[in-house]
Amino acid sequence: MGSLLKNRGWVIGALAVAILFPFVLPNAYFLHILTLAFIWMIAVYGLNLLAGYTGYLSLAHAGFFAIGAYALGLLTVKTEINYWLALVLACLITSAIGAVVGLVALRTREHFFAIYTLCVGYIIYLVIDKWDGLTGGVRGLIGIPVPSNIGPLSFETPLSQYYLVLFFLIFTVLVMYRIVHSLTGRTFIAIRNSEDLAQTIGISTMKNKLLVFVLSTFFAGLAGALYASFIRFIGPDIGYITIIFDLLTYLLVGGIGTLAGPIVGTFLIVAVSQSLQFLQDYRMLIFGPLLTLLIIFYPRGIVGAYYDWRMKHTAKKVKRTRKEQRYFESETVDAEKKVKEG
Amino acid sequence: MLIETKKLTKRFGGNVAVNEVDFTIEEGKINAIIGPNGAGKSTFFNLLSGSYTPSAGQVIYKGKDITKLSPDRIAKLGVARTFQTTNLFEQSTVLDNVIVGHRLRTKSNLWDAVLRTKRFAKEEKKCREKAMEVLDFVDLTHVMNQQAGSITQEEKKRVAFALALATDPEVVFLDEPTAGINPGETEGLADLMEKMVKRKITVCLIEHKMKMIMKLADKIMVLNYGEKIAEGTSEQIMNDPAVIEAYLGGDASA
Ligand SMILES: Nc1ncnc2c1ncn2[C@@H]1O[C@H](COP(=O)(O)OP(=O)(O)OP(=O)(O)O)[C@@H](O)[C@H]1O
Ligand SMILES: [Mg+2]
């Protein structure tokens, strides 16, 4: 609760900027980039719940992103069912596959888990790439429709899509906030802290880990589905390994295991790489070392560093008031002594 | 008799860490396990709390066989423990560290959290109150809102006690609760254990500090190379030739 109040200024500010941005800066290109960034943020939130709050670094999430995208694409293109039904189904299909993968993957820990999920991610990519009959293989899937109208609301224009994606981002953040600030979230954090300890205070770790895994694939799937209907063309490369490393970079820079991290990191990296576009792939020469330094000195990213700074700040304040109190108390004691002596 | 082990055994490859140990833990008492380094004391605890599955033998808790239960199930039955090394979440406050300890007595799930149901509100409050109660019990109310990383070693031990107590246990296992703590503070922790027993919580602890244990424990078991070499009151233990040999003449007999 306290943290919400303390951060309320930030939340309202960010929300106002996001809502007003298209009016202040009516630029189609920026709008496009920002919408995409919002979509990535949703996926990063999914990853954050699992890697940041529960301590299981999954490298399969580009694969789940692609599953969400292809599920929506195939359902809308090949079966022509209602878009919103397809969106729900896409998320559910991704979660169901997530549950199956999780059941096996969560029997491993730490780097074994990372390696295992990396393989799963690559297998998902290969399946999409090679299963021509279903996915269209390297040719990709074209003609994915925009979201269908809800009453008077239509999603034909980029602006309306921007707000739609923003809506889902806000939904994601709200759900994440509520999970993290609940007994369920505390349970996840206890697992991250020490699985042995968590078990001895009565937490069924497997059940909870599976829950987080499925949840995080759900959000990866949601992001993928939104991507498909925003870009309207998808190829196997959206499930490729580089995507998961992008997502991970966003998360690490922003702050793993923090609520604002995914937004801060994604926005920052997207903005910086846009402005360094003239450097093409040489950008990585700058990003690589910067990222390494950041992880060494600020393992909880920019947001984590901000929290630490604020924590120290208030700790100092507490100390100062305590010192003053002690000083005051000793003075009164002295005074009492004098009274007694006198 | 609250817990009974029957020929409890744990092998790691060829190494028998716990060898056919028969032991009973008396209800409402302070039970202690002592023994040289590597004697199998922590392993014995891990078998009782379900962290390890025994290679052979049985663990009976209140007449029920819990040998094959998972640690979280055993915790729900009222068995709590602390570890030899305290692992708190240092970035969180002391209070936040303890709140999750009562999680096993709640039912709210993901939906309650996302939809902020009545049950959610009720149980959040319940866990918070429980945490305050046990922090008061271990005398840590004054550091409740400090980061767990910033408190002293002795206070961290107390937080670990509080976390175990938050599960509403009938018995707590404490693995070397006073390791790395100075003598003055050790006494404080010993008092705390006596306070637990007064609250009808059975205590079972592993300790190296002989003086303290002889004064504190109602019943002692001595382990050596995984085997029980003695069991009884402090006097019985102190005068037991096998114990004296294990502690003083171990090398001579080997
Ligand atoms: N997970 C494990 N795998 C293999 N061997 C183990 C394992 N845990 C303990 N052991 C071995 O079992 C024996 C008993 O270890 P244990 O930790 O129970 O001793 P201890 O009595 O608690 O010692 P200390 O006083 O040093 O804490 C040791 O030889 C140890 O190496
Ligand atoms: Mg030990």
Using the predicted structure, report yes or no on whether residue A206 has a pLDDT greater than 90: yes
Residue B82 CA to ligand 1 center (angstroms) comes to: 16
Q: Ligand 1: which of B42, B52, B224, B229 to mutate, most ligand atoms within 8 Å of CB?
A: B42
Q: Would you state the structure tokens that stand for residue A319, as one six-digit string?
A: 């100390």
**Dihedral through CA B203, CA B205, CA B209, CA B215, nearest 10?**
30
Q: Which residues of B touch A215 (CB under 8 A)?
A: 110
Domain residues for the domain of B252 are 1-78+169-254
Nearest CA to B204 among B238, B167, B229, B170? B170
Cβ-nearest to A183 among B88, B108, B163: B108
Lowest-pLDDT range, A184-188, A275-279, A322-326? A322-326
Helix or strand holding residue B16 (H, E): strand B15-25
pLDDT band at A94 (very low <50, low <70, confident <90, very high): very high
DSSP B17: E
For residue B59, the CA-to-ligand 2 centroid distance in Å is 20
Q: Where are the domains of chain A?
A: 12-283, 300-342
Buried b vs exposed e over B156-193: b needs ≥16 C-beta within 10 Å? bbbbbbbbbbbbbbbbbbbbbbbbebeeebbeebbebb
Interface of A with B (CB under 8 A): 175, 178-179, 182-187, 189-190, 193-194, 196-197, 199-205, 211, 215, 311, 315
In this predicted model, what pLDDT tens digit does every residue of B83-138 receive, in sequence order?
Answer: 988 888 888 899 999 999 999 999 999 999 999 999 999 999 999 999 999 999 99
The residue among B103, B134, B167 that closes a domain is B167
Residue A72 in tokens: 């929506």
Beta carbons of B167 and A202 less than 8 Å apart:
yes
Residue B92 and residue B27 share a domain: no
Domain total in chain B: 2
Name the least confident of A140-149, A151-160, A308-317, B161-170: A308-317
| A270 vs A39: CA distance, rounded Å | 12
DSSP conformational letter for B138: T
Q: Exposed e or buried b for every residue in A286-315, given b needs 16+ CB within 10 A? A: ebeeebeebeeebebbbbbbbbeeeeeeee
**CB-based neighbours (< 5 A) of ligand 2, an ion:** B 42, 84
From the list B108, B54, B246, B12, the residue with the least C-alpha distance to A178 is B108
Element (H, E) at B243: helix B241-248
Q: Answer yes or no: is the C-beta of B39 below 6 A from any ligand 1 atom.
A: yes
Q: Whose CA is nearest to atom 22 of ligand 1?
A: B42
Q: How far is the CA of B40 from the centre of ligand 2 (A)?
A: 7
- Give the H/E segment covering residue B54: none
Domain co-membership, B197 together with B120: no
* Residue A149, pLDDT score: 85
B221 and B206 housed in the same domain: yes
Boundary (domain end) residue, out of B167, B193, B211? B167
pLDDT at residue B203, as a whole number: 96
Biggest CA-to-CA distance, chain B: 68
Quick one: CATH architecture of A12-283?
A: Orthogonal Bundle (1.10)
Count Cβ neighbours within 10 Å for each residue of B111-138 and write b for 16 or more, e otherwise. Answer: ebbbeeeeebeebbebbeebbbebbebb
Buried/exposed code over B11-40 (b: 16+ C-beta within 10 A; e: otherwise): eeeeebbbbebebbbeeeebbbbbbeeebb
User: Looking at per-residue confidence, does A215 or A10 come out higher?
Assistant: A215
Domain boundary among B138, B167, B196: B167
Taking 50 as the threshold, does the pLDDT of residue A1 lie above it?
Answer: no
Angle in degrees, CA A306, B115, A217, rounded to 5: 65
Q: What are phi and psi of A278, to 5 degrees?
A: -60, -20
User: pTM of the predicted model, to two decimals?
Assistant: 0.90
Q: Are residues B20 and B96 in the same domain?
A: no
By the 10 Å C-beta count (0-12 exposed, 13-18 middle, 19+ buried), A12 is classed as exposed
Cβ within 8 Å, pair B87-A184 = no
Partner-chain contact B127 A183, CB within 8 Å: yes
pLDDT of residue A5: 54
Which CATH number do you get for residue B184? 3.40.50.300
- How far is the C-alpha of A323 from the C-alpha of A316, rounded, in Å? 10
On whether both B250 and B184 belong to a single domain, the answer is yes
**Within this chain, do residues B2 and B39 fall inside the same structural domain, yes or no?**
yes
**Packing angle, helices A205-231 and A83-105, rounded to 10:** 140
